[in-house]
Amino acid sequence: MPNQGQRVVEGQRLMQAASDIFLGWCRVTETLDGRSRDYYVRQLWDWKRSAEVETMTPAMLGLYGELCGWTLARAHARSGDRVAVASYLGNGDGFDQALATFAERYADQNERDHAAVEAAVAGGRLAATAGL
């Protein structure tokens, strides 16, 4: 693609159900160092809110995680050719097994990271305050 900003915008439009109406791209050719650069542009503040995960109960956090997973899956489903993806994955359970292995290793790494943070707090190497 001749403009990298356009590449980003087209990718966002593929993955988002409704993208920013101000989403666009441009090329700046007159720069201080004389090199042209591609940019994508979007509306900075569109009155959307973010979830306050630090105030969620475990049940609400679980529901929020499910919604995020569903949204991510939907975005990825919109971006690919379903026949090509199905052909790539094949009929076996190799992909399923690889995904399960990755998830288990990722969870194990999170547990090790959490233990390291707890140890750092307990040893006084890291300051922490109790949350809600």
What 3-state class would DSSP assign to 78? helix
Listing DSSP states for 77-103 in one string gives: HHHS-HHHHHHHH-SSSHHHHHHHHHH
Cβ atoms of 23 and 46 closer than 8 Å = no
CA 119/CA 124 separation, integer angstroms: 8
pLDDT in tens, the chain (132 residues): 789 989 888 888 887 777 777 888 899 998 889 899 999 888 766 566 788 889 999 999 999 999 988 888 887 776 667 788 788 888 899 989 999 999 999 999 999 999 999 999 999 999 988 765
Phi/psi zone of residue 30: left (φ > 0), alpha (ψ -120 to 50 degrees), beta?
beta
Q: What pLDDT was estimated at residue 14?
A: 81
Query: In the chain, what are the domain boundaries?
Result: 4-41, 90-127
pTM, two decimal places: 0.43
CA 103/CA 64 separation, integer angstroms: 18
- What's the half-sphere exposure (Cβ side, CA atoms, 13 Å) at 81? 4
